[in-house]
Chains A and B, each alone.
Chain A
């Protein structure tokens, strides 16, 4: 298989400015076919602009992008025929029913009337919206709207689905419903590019993650690779007494060479380490601790480190 066919999305050096503000500063990406790819970054990092360029809604000032084999600048129609977009706000007609929404978007993607109706029915069933199908979408809960929105993005079985912050503003239960839907899509072989500010979401859903900050990718890899690349393991000590904190901080600082972190309760001290066994031996030998453990950094720690 040629390189271009293995990749669902290739973006090279994307640039975009809005007046003085540089939203994209040479952003490059490669998303393999069939992957769930997470764009992780704080507000204003350039995630939504990236999705805009890749879905042909935003014209970049520089760089190029190919989505599902079509160039976004030269063949935007080809891109639009192969993608689904689920934006930040549930883009639904609130007056129409759930079913009418799906039929409308199906008709606008040039399905015949009968086909659009059948597809709407399939999707309503799949997303558990059959009971609410004939009620106006304006009365749906946040989670139901999101699911209807997702269904609307799937009408034409897209090759690449873009989800821009799909769970922002959802309660935990609705969030996990959306996660399940994304996993099912991935199992069907759809390439999914999702943006999120939630580390947990990227960690749980994405095969690969690009951390975006200041309009460019600052780190890229699998969640495990990102955690490794940054800091390796951390050693964490739980103390019996607060009086030991100073000793523990000094000790961990010496074995790690970095500034240890102390949690709010003041009994848990941790620091990144390279020599796992040496650090463990030193701590066990010199400190009377409740518990000592080696652990992976959380993605939060990776993220804060990268976007500092």
Chain B
């Protein structure tokens, strides 16, 4: 199967995802606006004792959380296709097998990029600013997309393993503790020590802290290894996740029951 067909089939399936958004703009809007809702809730209702800096700390955290939410988006799409028999039909076609996962990956990255752009615009409106140069800012966006990219493969794998729409709901529930047990909303130093350790080593925290650093936003500080090496961890975690789940996802797709 040539590279040409891999590219052509990936593009065909990316266009399919775009057609979905065009036909269901409401679904797209809810997905994009949900993180905005969370942002406004925390910035205005739950800011607690944090001062005027809070939006600047919160926005990068929520950008990273949005990438983690993307796991559900990928999983839902994969489960829907598998349960309707569409995946089986794809596999019976003389098309590039890798394109099925490739098309999913490209579509989800585009979707996430749109989500991040909207969230950044809303963050801007409530006082968040990029306080570094364009190169650093781009690097921050790059790290966010890298986290999202790694979770695409986890989503494809979990979607293919689960196969049933009900399974997505359990992942949706599990994403929340992962989101709160991090530095996205609160300073890990305010947590009991053992929770703080988990929160600091959470991949979400690494990407959030690295984004704060690269956007030139204030962070929580902290002097643990994880807190002082956020960028390194924000690279290492997604690479590790890819190393585990990319081969698993491709093998699971290719495996003939």
- Interface 0/1 of B195-207, CB less than 8 Å to A: 0000000000000
* CB atoms of A105 and B93 under 8 A apart: yes
Nearest chain A CB to B27 CB, angstrom units: 9
Number of contacts between A and B (CB, 8 Å)? Answer: 74
Q: Does A121 contact B (CB under 8 A)?
A: no
A256 to B134, CA, bound (A): 95
| With A80-B93, A108-B93, A110-B8 as contacts: A90 and B19 at CB distance below 8 Å | no
* CB atoms of B24 and A95 under 8 A apart: yes
Q: Which residues of A are found within 8 Å of B91, using beta-carbon distances?
A: 56-57
- Interface 0/1 of B60-98, CB less than 8 Å to A: 000000000000000000000000111011111111000
The interface of chain B, by Cβ under 8 A from chain A, is: 1, 5, 8-9, 12-13, 16, 19-20, 23-24, 84-86, 88-95, 256-257
* CB atoms of B1 and A109 under 8 A apart: no
| CB<8 Å pairs between A and B, sample of 20 | A56-B256, A57-B91, A57-B257, A59-B257, A77-B1, A85-B88, A85-B89, A87-B85, A87-B88, A91-B84, A91-B88, A93-B86, A95-B23, A104-B12, A105-B93, A108-B95, A109-B93, A109-B95, A110-B5, A136-B23
**SS class, residues of chain B in contact with chain A:** helix
In this complex, what residue of B is CB-closest to A107?
B12
The interface of chain A, by Cβ under 8 A from chain B, is: 18, 52, 55-59, 77, 80-81, 83, 85, 87-96, 100, 104-105, 107-110, 136, 152
A96 to B20, CA, bound (A): 7
Q: Which residues of B are found within 8 Å of A104, using beta-carbon distances?
A: 12, 16
Q: Which residues of B are found within 8 Å of A77, using beta-carbon distances?
A: 1, 94
* CB atoms of B94 and A96 under 8 A apart: no
Across the A-B interface, give the 7 residue pairs with the lowest CB-CB distance, nearest first. A91-B85, A91-B89, A59-B256, A81-B94, A85-B92, A80-B94, A89-B85
